[in-house]
Every structure is written in C-alpha cells, then in structure tokens.
Amino acid sequence: MNSATTQVASVVERVRPVAAGGPVIAAHFLGSTAAFVLGEEAILLVAQDASERRVAAHAGAIIAVAAEREKIVSGGDDGTVMATETKGECRQLAQDAKRRWIDQVAAGPAGAVAWAAGKSVFVATRHGEVRSLELPSSAGGLAFAPKGFRLAIAHYNGATLWFPNASAKPESREWKGSHHGVTFSPDGKFLVTSMQEPMLHGWRLADSKHMRMSGYSAKVRSLTWSADERWLATSGSEQLVLWPFQGKEGPMGKTPRMLAAHDARVEVVACHPVQEMVAVGYADGMALLVQLGDSDEVLVRKPDGNAVSALAWSARGDVLAYGTEDGAAGLLAL
C-alpha cells in the first residue's frame, strides 16, 4: 500500500488505545487477556473488561519472550527465566548458575520450556526435570517441533535438532552463516531459519534438501504460518512476503507471493489463527490487515513514525493486539 495514493477500508476508529508505558517488544494473549511485554522489567496485562495489571517480571531488560495458552515465558538480563500467568502470578522457572543473560526462550508441549544462555541450552519438563546441551556457538533461536518432544536450535553455521529425552546424539543441519530465528512447518516436514544476512534458509527434514529463500532488503525478524498451513509469512521487505508450502517440495524452485507493498519496511507479521488473513506492522507505524484470498487491505493504525514492534491474535481470532517501539498499544475487536 502506498499511503499517499491508495485508499483502503479503515477500522482505526474501532481500536481501543492502551498506554503501555514503555517500548513493547512482544504481545500475546492468555485466554481473553492481552499481554504487552515491555523492554524493561514489566508485562502489562489488559483484561477483557479493560482492567489493567502491570507485573514486574524481571529486574532489568526483558530479552526473550515466548507464550502458550496458560503462561508467558520470558528471559532477562538478570539471568532468570520467568512465567507470567493470566491473573498476574509471576514465578521463577530457572536462574542461570552463572547469571548469564537468557538470550532465547521457547514454550513447548505439555508445559515444557526451553531457554538458552550463550552456548548452553536447557529444557525443563512440566515436572521440573532439566536437560542441557552445549553448542559450539551461541544459540540464535529455539523452537519446539509441532509433534513429539523435539527442539530445534539455530546457531552459527546451521541448526541442531535435539530430542531432550533421548540419549541419541543431536542431528545437525548445516549451512554457512549466522542463523538467528528458527521455525518448524506446522506439519513438521520442514525447518526454516532466519539469518544475519537478509535471507532465510530451509531444509526438508526427510532428506535434508536445502531451500534458499532470498530477495529481502533487511534481516527477517518475524515469521508466522497461515491458518491453513500453506504459507509462511515474513517481515524483512517493503511488502508482506509469503512463501508457498503447499506441496512436498515446499518453496523449492518457487518465488514468494508479495502483498501490501508500502514505502516503509515490514517489521512484524501475525497470521490470523482461523481465517486467511495476516496482520502486518510497518517501520513507519502503520498496521494493516491483509486478506490472502483477494489481497484486500484494511487499515488498523495510521503511520506516525514509530515502528510497530508487536502483533498478536487471540486464540479465536476475535481480538488483535499491537504495540509500538514508543509505548503506544491498542486492541481491535473484530
């Protein structure tokens, strides 16, 4: 969308503003409660009745965030891994023995949690059993597989696939360069990493066949899968980039679909959990809803120069939360 020349439908007036009180680095939902994770110390919980509760989760900067339905898992520069729940209960899950920064976290099946501090990766089951793995380089991203108790770890020169409950040696997927984010396809057949360079790299897990996914203007920081599992939506360009995963080859030999072109770069994306729609946040502060079927766009937030830094849908997809780098936030009920 070129805002200077194109008119689109708008729901800006339906957004309920929220004063977050600091830069918003992530947004999630715990049931019907919206959670805005701030860059320093706190998580702001906004209930359906608009009541707010500010929870002090860390004694310093919040570095890494993940969530599942019951809790938000966060890691901080205070060396702790914390869990924050809907009513504001906040409990410590772990503390690094060396008080290192918790660089990465992930929420997994049956209440499992993973976290990384430098080259050390840990997984804790819901019963509190902890497993650890040492890497040759620092962990750049963590993701649990959609099926089975398996963890993917992005790092320098590739990714590692680890079964924490098994004694077998972890598997490696190699590709030169620094890998930062990581995601499994919803069917568990593909693994995709984001890199320091403006590109993604992927592997088909059955045979380790490579997928080179390039053409971006900046590092890809946000990845999200469409509700029908056919598309991987990403940031990193001046439009929404959608990679096709419809067949057994995934995006191999295919070009991505491009939607919602704009003058500013896409910073964050969030696919609707039910409908074929993506929320898109741009570096100039604009936020759109983009329909994948007919490419229609709906304006959620007007550009104001402050980048949209967080987007999240409620589990039913009836509420969208957004946050910006200057502390503005909002809730849109559909």
In a domain, 323, yes or no: yes
In a domain, 2, yes or no: no
Confidence (pLDDT) at 125: 87
In a domain, 1, yes or no: no
Number of domains in the chain: 1
- Model confidence over 285-310: pLDDT tens digits? 999 999 999 999 999 999 999 999 99
- Model confidence over 182-226: pLDDT tens digits? 999 999 999 999 999 999 999 999 999 999 999 999 999 999 999
Confidence (pLDDT) at 126: 78
In a domain, 4, yes or no: no
87: containing domain = 9-333
In this prediction, residue 6 has a pLDDT band, given cuts at 50, 70 and 90, of low
In a domain, 196, yes or no: yes
Confidence (pLDDT) at 108: 93
Among all chains, which residue has been given the structure tokens 């070009």? 255
Distance in angstroms (rounded) separating the CA atoms of residues 150 and 268: 26
Q: At 23, which CATH number? A: 2.130.10.10
In a domain, 63, yes or no: yes
Does the pLDDT value for residue 2 go beyond 90?
Answer: no
Confidence (pLDDT) at 200: 98
In a domain, 260, yes or no: yes
Confidence (pLDDT) at 8: 84
